[in-house]
């Protein structure tokens, strides 16, 4: 079933290669494939069952490159299932959003379907090489999305994105090879690496060449940090976002960034627990710096899309901070809460930032600009757009009742509760700055008197609303009644804390 979920979009992409397929047909095939995929994921979720005490479900293990013990090994647990569900939903909504007015719709749809397979595969992968292949293919796919359908200085931004994240992935590969070599017998299998072998693994890494374990963590960490991204390796992000098409930005921020933080939670923390604990303070510092730096730089932005891109740096910083706190020695309950918050934040950020980027796409579609100062008073002629933006903005600033709060409250409480009192207190300032900058953006573009481009902006069309509203509705659902999600995450969070504590 998991294999169908992963490869159904790719099959649909192949279908799009059929000659003489109209643009509308391509759009509908895209929507149908992503909708079917989402339905399968929902069925998987239902079948996963409540109260499952860890372990992987829907597991498949096939031989792939036996000479290096790399296999096609996939499965889901409470850490990956929410991300898989979020990914499927976001791709479906991007399909709905792109229903009209897209250049070369067939290639566009095929590219997104390919990306969907890659993203789903990455979150399901239980083998380091498989993970790495998907990781790099996602970079390739997104490069073509930006360069083919972007705007502005898209070739340069796309190239920057590609080279920067690709370089990061090479560091990641280096780290993976280190993990492979340290395990006895050598293997790329994640489950084997985290399970019984790991005790030997860390021992090997510590008795082998001096500081080999730290070097491996550094390589893996750098690779994932570029992807996440954290300060100071984030500068590819605003450029890529500014010039990417709206749906591409939504996928880039909503799904691709999660590959970095997911990698931390799935690979770095469980496979290098001793090193993670030793360098937890460094991770926490990077997290806090990303939180504050991202928020402050966002505060100074004039371009709506760049602003949201920088809030992503801020929001991903919370995740890094929380995972760093998992390596502290404070109360166990607090560390589990922090990790649970980190996973929740991955889902929540995907929903909220996806919605915000789709909203910027509406502005670009109508007026060809993201410049806050050239709009103003949009609430008058685009009340639905304004209402939707307001909800998304308040969700992004962590208002209770929406998913951002559930995630960030757990992170703050967990981080402070785990003993990082100062780091927690400093990162709290992030939600204040975020509030300030989002209210400022709301004020400048949507409230007050009309601006230069206000006249061109018409209200949301049906398919745009159909793409954005479900994201916010889900954010509201998580914000008001989060237990259906948190109860799924809790065993996974507990398992990660267990692994980190070995």
Q: Where does this chain bind other proteins (CB under 8 A)? A: 160, 163-164, 232, 235-236, 239, 293, 296-297, 299-301, 330-334, 336-337, 340, 377, 379-380, 383-384, 387, 390, 394, 399-401, 405-406, 409-410, 412-419, 421, 424-425, 428-429, 431-433, 435-436, 439-440, 443, 447-449, 482-483, 486-487, 490, 494
Q: Which is nearer to other proteins, 5 or 407 (CB)?
A: 407
Q: Which is nearer to other proteins, 12 or 395 (CB)?
A: 395
The dihedral formed by the CA atoms of 420, 425, 427 and 432, expressed in degrees to the nearest 10: 160
Query: Taking the complex as a whole, how short is the minimal distance between the CB of residue 339 and other proteins, in angstroms?
Result: 10
Q: Is the distance from CB of 450 to CB of 376 less than 8 angstroms?
A: yes
Query: Taking the complex as a whole, how short is the minimal distance between the CB of residue 216 and other proteins, in angstroms?
Result: 24
Query: Taking the complex as a whole, how short is the minimal distance between the CB of residue 432 and other proteins, in angstroms?
Result: 6
Closest by alpha carbon to 438, among 477, 412, 402?
402
Kindly give the residue spans of alpha helices, DSSP state H, lying in 300-402.
304-325, 332-367, 378-381, 383-396
Closest by alpha carbon to 123, among 190, 47, 67, 201?
190
Cis peptide before 229 (omega within 30 of 0): yes
Query: Taking the complex as a whole, how short is the minimal distance between the CB of residue 429 and other proteins, in angstroms?
Result: 7
Closest by alpha carbon to 410, among 475, 346, 341?
341
Query: Taking the complex as a whole, how short is the minimal distance between the CB of residue 369 and other proteins, in angstroms?
Result: 19
Query: Taking the complex as a whole, how short is the minimal distance between the CB of residue 173 and other proteins, in angstroms?
Result: 19
Pair of tokens at residue 247: 């749906």
Query: Taking the complex as a whole, how short is the minimal distance between the CB of residue 329 and other proteins, in angstroms?
Result: 11
Could you give the CA distance from residue 24 to residue 102 in angstroms, rounded to a whole number?
11
Query: Taking the complex as a whole, how short is the minimal distance between the CB of residue 336 and other proteins, in angstroms?
Result: 5
Q: Which is nearer to other proteins, 107 or 435 (CB)?
A: 435
Q: Which is nearer to other proteins, 107 or 379 (CB)?
A: 379
Q: Is the distance from CB of 298 to CB of 310 less than 8 angstroms?
A: yes
Q: Which is nearer to other proteins, 148 or 387 (CB)?
A: 387
Q: Is the distance from CB of 377 to CB of 451 less than 8 angstroms?
A: yes
The dihedral formed by the CA atoms of 145, 12, 60 and 326, expressed in degrees to the nearest 10: 30
Q: Which is nearer to other proteins, 120 or 486 (CB)?
A: 486
Q: Which is nearer to other proteins, 63 or 443 (CB)?
A: 443
Concatenated DSSP letters of 308-325? HHHHHHHHHHHHHHHHHH
Please, which residues have CB within 8 angstroms of residue 309's CB and are 6 or more apart in sequence?
237, 238, 241, 242, 249, 253
Q: Which is nearer to other proteins, 12 or 497 (CB)?
A: 497
């Amino acid at each position: 079933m998991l294999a169908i979920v992963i490869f159904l979009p790719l099959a649909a992409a192949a279908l799009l290669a059929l000659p003489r397929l109209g643009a509308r047909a391509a759009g509908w095939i895209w929507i149908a494939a992503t909708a079917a995929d989402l339905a399968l994921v929902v069925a998987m979720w239902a079948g996963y069952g409540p109260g499952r005490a860890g372990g992987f479900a829907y597991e498949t293990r096939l031989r792939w490159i036996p000479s290096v013990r790399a296999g096609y090994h996939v499965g889901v647990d409470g850490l990956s299932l929410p991300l898989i569900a979020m990914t499927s939903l976001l791709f479906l909504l991007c399909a709905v959003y792109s229903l009209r007015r897209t250049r070369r719709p067939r290639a566009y749809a095929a590219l997104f379907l390919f990306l969907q397979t890659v993203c789903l595969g990455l979150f399901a992968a239980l083998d380091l090489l498989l993970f790495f292949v998907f990781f790099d293919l996602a970079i390739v796919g997104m490069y073509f999305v930006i360069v083919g359908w972007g705007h502005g200085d898209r070739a340069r931004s796309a190239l920057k994105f590609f080279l920067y994240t690709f370089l990061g992935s090479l560091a990641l590969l280096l780290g993976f090879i280190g993990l492979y070599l340290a395990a006895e017998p050598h293997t790329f299998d994640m489950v084997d690496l985290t399970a019984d072998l790991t005790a030997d693994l860390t021992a090997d890494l510590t008795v082998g060449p001096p500081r080999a374990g730290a070097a491996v963590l550094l390589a893996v960490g750098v690779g994932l940090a570029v992807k996440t991204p954290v300060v100071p390796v984030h500068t590819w992000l605003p450029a890529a976002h500014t010039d990417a098409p709206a749906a591409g930005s939504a996928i880039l921020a909503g799904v691709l960034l999660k590959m970095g933080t997911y990698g931390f939670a799935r690979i770095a923390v469980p496979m290098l627990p001793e090193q993670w604990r030793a360098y937890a303070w460094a991770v926490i510092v990077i997290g806090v710096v990303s939180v504050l730096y991202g928020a402050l730089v966002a505060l100074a932005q004039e371009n709506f899309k760049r602003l949201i891109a920088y809030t992503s740096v801020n929001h991903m910083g919370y995740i890094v901070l929380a995972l760093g706190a998992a390596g502290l020695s404070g109360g166990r309950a607090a560390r589990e809460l922090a990790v649970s918050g980190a996973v929740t934040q991955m889902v929540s950020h995907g929903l909220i930032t996806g919605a915000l980027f789709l909203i910027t796409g509406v502005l670009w579609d109508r007026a060809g600009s993201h410049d806050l100062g050239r709009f103003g008073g949009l609430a008058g002629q685009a009340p639905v757009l304004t209402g939707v933006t307001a909800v998304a903005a308040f969700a992004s600033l962590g208002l209770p009742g929406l998913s951002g709060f559930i995630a960030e409250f757990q992170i703050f409480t967990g981080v402070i509760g785990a003993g990082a009192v100062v780091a927690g207190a400093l990162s709290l300032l992030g939600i204040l700055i975020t509030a300030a900058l989002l209210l400022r953006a709301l004020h400048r573009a949507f409230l007050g008197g009309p601006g230069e481009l206000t006249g061109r902006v018409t209200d949301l069309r049906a398919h745009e609303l159909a793409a954005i509203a479900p994201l916010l509705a889900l954010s509201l659902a998580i914000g008001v009644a989060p237990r259906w999600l948190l109860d799924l995450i809790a065993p996974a969070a507990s398992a990660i804390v267990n692994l980190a504590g070995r």
